[in-house]
């Protein structure tokens, strides 16, 4: 009789442990699911657990504490980033007027009789003013591209036609550098819901990037899935630099006159149009992939 009772007790203990293990696993799965949701969503809702296990409840309390801290840090970052973009927009706007005036006076001054030395100095000043004007415009465009408050106007856009138009605009500049683009496109249109002017800006900046970094070639491939790949030799780059191409104000020595904002604008506009962009460097070749999914 005793062995049967012992076996029964062991069976009950085993069943109890299995049930407890199943409940613990369920509670942990619920906690993990809620944690993933809280990390994506900006919400004050805490993690709730149905388990009465004190260890799991203590884990949930600690996670809620860390989530609240993370939320505060995220809000501080968002506020600081928004203030930075507003400051950039205001500064670039304020610089436009004096720079326009300086350019006008320089043009008048260039019409006056000057010594060779004065002409040389005037040329230096004109170059610096042009650089400042370019930087000011890039700053202003970046603040607009990165601002979610500036609404985009979505409409059906044929990416193939937009790419052909951008290539036509850059063809003279490319051939002047000895770059003859090799372009591969599907026969049918590739239509997506996009902002037409933003797409034009994105493609223009990417072609301008090819002018800066290309070693003398450029291959552009448009696929029906909505992906455009810009590929060219880039002897002045390396993998570390390519990993930072989309960072604000990042430039390399080979990109003379660059502000470091062109590709940042591309990334900001692309993501606002629900697209994605990435760069890869392999065996001296830079490939930038731009993708706009359907829907």
Instruction: Decide if pLDDT at 27 tops 70.
Output: yes
pLDDT in tens, 101-117: 888 878 888 888 888 88
- Based on the fold, state whether residues 229 and 194 are members of the same structural domain: yes
- Residue 188 located in a structural domain: yes
- Which pLDDT does position 255 carry in this prediction? 47
- Based on the fold, state whether residues 124 and 85 are members of the same structural domain: yes
Choose the final residue of a domain: 124, 146, 168.
146
b (16+ CB within 10 A) / e for 108-140: eeeeeeeeeeeeeeeeeebeebeeebebbbbbb
- Based on the fold, state whether residues 165 and 114 are members of the same structural domain: no
What is the average pLDDT across 144-158? 77
- Residue 273 located in a structural domain: yes
- Residue 11 located in a structural domain: no
Enclosing H/E stretch for 36: helix 2-40
3-state secondary structure of 97: helix
- Residue 16 located in a structural domain: no
CA distance 185 to 290: 14
- Based on the fold, state whether residues 142 and 203 are members of the same structural domain: no
The predicted model scores a pTM of 0.60
- Which pLDDT does position 226 carry in this prediction? 93
CA distance 201 to 85: 19
- Residue 182 located in a structural domain: yes
- Which pLDDT does position 250 carry in this prediction? 57
pLDDT in tens, 183-231: 999 999 999 999 998 999 899 989 988 888 788 899 999 999 999 999 9
pLDDT in tens, 8-26: 655 665 666 665 666 677 7
Instruction: Decide if pLDDT at 289 tops 90.
Output: yes
- Based on the fold, state whether residues 241 and 131 are members of the same structural domain: no
Enclosing H/E stretch for 64: helix 54-110
Q: Domain limits at 185?
A: 154-291
- Based on the fold, state whether residues 284 and 171 are members of the same structural domain: yes
CA separation (Å) from 267 to 36, 108, 138, 178, 184?
26, 40, 14, 28, 23
- Residue 17 located in a structural domain: no
Domains identified in the chain, total number: 2
């Amino acid at each position: 009789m005793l062995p049967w009772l012992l076996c029964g007790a062991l069976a009950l203990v085993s069943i109890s442990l299995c049930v407890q293990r199943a409940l613990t696993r369920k509670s942990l799965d619920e906690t993990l699911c809620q944690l993933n949701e809280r990390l994506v969503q900006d919400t004050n809702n805490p993690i709730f657990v149905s388990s009465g296990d004190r260890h799991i409840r203590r884990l949930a309390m600690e996670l809620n504490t860390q989530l609240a801290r993370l939320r505060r840090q995220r809000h501080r970052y968002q506020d600081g980033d928004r203030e930075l973009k507003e400051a950039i927009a205001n500064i670039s706007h304020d610089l436009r007027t004096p720079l326009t005036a300086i350019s006008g006076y320089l043009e008048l001054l260039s019409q006056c009789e000057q010594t060779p030395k004065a002409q040389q100095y005037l040329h230096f000043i004109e170059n610096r003013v042009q650089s400042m004007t370019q930087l000011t415009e890039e700053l202003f465009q970046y603040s607009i591209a990165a601002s979610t408050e500036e609404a985009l106007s979505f409409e059906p856009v044929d990416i193939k036609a937009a790419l052909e138009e951008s290539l036509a605009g850059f063809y003279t500049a490319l051939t002047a550098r000895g770059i003859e683009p090799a372009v591969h496109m599907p026969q049918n249109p590739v239509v997506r819901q996009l902002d037409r002017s933003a797409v034009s800006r994105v493609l223009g900046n990417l072609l301008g990037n090819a002018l800066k970094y290309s070693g003398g070639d450029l291959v552009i491939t448009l696929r029906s899935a909505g992906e455009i790949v810009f590929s060219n030799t880039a002897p002045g780059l390396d993998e570390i630099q390519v990993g930072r191409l989309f960072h604000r104000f990042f430039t390399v020595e080979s990109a003379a006159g660059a502000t470091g904002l062109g590709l940042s604008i591309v990334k900001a506009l692309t993501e606002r149009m629900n697209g994605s962009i990435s760069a890869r460097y392999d065996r001296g070749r830079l490939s930038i992939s731009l993708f706009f999914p359907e829907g």
